[in-house]
């Protein structure tokens, strides 16, 4: 194994592949040491420089902290604000790391674990979901460095892939050798255009320790991440998934969801199991950005600009599984309650935390997008 440590890294950057050393990406439902979040302040992402989103992030952080540690990143300008808000929350650790935005799922480390329980992080190349081809903003240098910085703070050894573009929201593992992805995302020209599908698979198998990759044909319509998998389909346990669904043939999501359903029915996982599929409805009424919300955003040069009435990629599949709970998005829609009832039956032994996610979805993502689990045994639970 080659280990490189230089002036820019306070942690071991490993020049090998995790699978060769017995590491695998666990399922999100396996035990966590903690969860990474990033304080929302970007004016082009969150309304009023995060005023509304900060309230929602606080609710989410405290819900997660009931059963695992929370590592909350913020810059120096907001450090006092954050420490004051969470002064009494002993399970929430404030870390001074500056980022460009708050999507910890995509910029934080993807973690792998071995049989001994050692956890290591993977830092993929981040280019704001498409770089010069169709990226959402042009200055993402701090986001690209975030995974290694987080590994330093959490004392995790790190695998760094400077030339392979990937976001955490584009992969979902069952922990037993199967990985869910979407073809529109991983084969996007803005990510790894020089690699074939087979070459991309080889990298994922080497670094995530998976044996089989399920390439879903579609994601959520209008998803500006080129249809991340965590909006359309997610493992809830090995061999079992939830799938974003609509019964309305006039809805733009009807075709993509049906394509994925038919695809999954014909597939098997790495263990040879057919999938048990739970239909999780999308909001009955499309979630669209309002004139008032648009006026409360301030976009930088080169940043993707939203438009009044734009349909947002609202999906109940974009939830976070904590050690003892499921942090679950709500949109003020009549399907909110139905979705909670379904997920309660899917996770009968976990507490469901319904959270109004309007202030997050306006930024283009959801609860799963702002969280990144760190696997391993919790010291407290």
What pLDDT digit, counting tens, does each position of 164-202 carry? 999 999 999 999 999 999 999 999 999 999 999 999 999
Residue 352, pLDDT above cutoff 70: yes
Residue 207, domain CATH:
3.75.10.10
Catalytic pick among 74, 151, 158, 369 = 369
Q: How many domains does the chain have?
A: 1
Give the Cα separation of 63 and 355 in Å (integer). Answer: 10
233 is catalytic: no
Residue whose structure tokens are 């050393």: 21
Residue 127, pLDDT above cutoff 70: yes
Q: How confident is the model at residue 4 (pLDDT cuts 50, 70, 90)?
A: very low
Give the Cα separation of 308 and 316 in Å (integer). Answer: 23
Domain span at residue 89 reads 2-283+291-375
Q: How confident is the model at residue 359 (pLDDT cuts 50, 70, 90)?
A: very high
Residue 79 lies in a domain: yes
User: Exposed, middle or buried by CB within 10 Å (0-12, 13-18, 19+), for 297?
Assistant: buried
Residue 380 lies in a domain: no
What pLDDT, in 10s, does the model give residues 292-349? 999 999 999 989 889 999 999 999 999 999 999 999 999 999 999 999 999 999 999 9
Give the Cα separation of 125 and 165 in Å (integer). Answer: 4
Residue 67 lies in a domain: yes
Residue 305 lies in a domain: yes
pLDDT score of 346? 98
CA distances, 279 to each of 258, 349, 356 (Å) = 11, 20, 21
> How far from chain centre, in Å, is Cα 373?
9
- Mean pLDDT over residues 275-288, rounded? 98
C-alpha closest to that of 288 among 260, 311, 265: 311
How many other CB atoms are found less than 10 A from the CB of residue 226?
A: 22
pTM over 0.75: yes
Residue 381 lies in a domain: no
- Dihedral, 194, 112, 175, 65 alpha carbons, nearest 10: -120
Residue 10, pLDDT above cutoff 90: no
Residue 252 lies in a domain: yes
pLDDT score of 380? 47
Residue 168 lies in a domain: yes
């Amino acid at each position: 194994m080659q280990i490189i440590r230089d002036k820019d890294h306070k942690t071991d950057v490993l020049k090998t592949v995790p699978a060769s050393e017995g590491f695998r990406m666990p399922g999100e439902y396996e035990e966590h040491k903690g969860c990474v979040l990033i304080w929302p302040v970007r004016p082009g992402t969150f309304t009023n420089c995060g005023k509304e989103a900060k309230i929602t992030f606080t609710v989410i952080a405290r819900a997660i902290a009931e059963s695992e540690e929370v590592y909350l990143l913020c810059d120096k300008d907001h450090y006092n604000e954050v420490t004051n808000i969470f002064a009494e929350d002993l399970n929430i650790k404030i870390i001074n790391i500056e980022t460009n935005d708050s999507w910890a799922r995509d910029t934080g480390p993807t973690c792998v674990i071995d049989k001994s329980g050692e956890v290591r992080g993977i830092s993929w190349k981040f280019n704001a979901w498409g770089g010069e081809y169709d990226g959402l903003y042009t200055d993402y240098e701090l986001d690209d460095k975030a995974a290694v910085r987080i590994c330093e703070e959490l004392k995790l050894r790190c695998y760094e892939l400077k030339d392979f573009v990937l976001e955490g929201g584009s992969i979902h593992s069952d922990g037993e050798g199967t990985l869910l992805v979407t073809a529109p995302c991983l084969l996007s020209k803005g990510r790894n255009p020089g690699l074939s599908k087979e070459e991309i698979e080889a990298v994922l198998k080497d670094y995530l320790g998976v044996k089989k990759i399920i390439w879903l044909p579609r994601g959520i319509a209008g998803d500006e991440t080129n249809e991340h998998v965590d909006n359309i389909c997610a493992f809830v346990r090995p061999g079992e998934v939830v799938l974003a669904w609509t019964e309305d043939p006039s809805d733009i999501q009807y075709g993509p969801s049906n394509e994925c359903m038919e695809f999954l029915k014909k597939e098997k996982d790495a263990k040879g199991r057919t999938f048990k599929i739970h239909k999780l409805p999308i909001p009955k009424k499309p979630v669209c950005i309002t004139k008032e919300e648009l006026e409360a955003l301030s976009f930088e040069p080169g940043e993707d600009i939203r438009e009044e009435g734009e349909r947002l990629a609202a999906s109940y599949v974009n939830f976070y599984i904590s050690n003892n709970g499921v942090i679950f998005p709500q949109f003020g829609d009549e399907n909110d309650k139905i979705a909670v009832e379904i997920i309660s039956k899917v996770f009968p032994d976990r507490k469901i935390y319904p959270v109004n996610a309007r202030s997050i979805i306006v930024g283009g993502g959801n609860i799963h997008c702002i969280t990144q689990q760190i696997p391993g045994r919790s010291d407290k639970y």
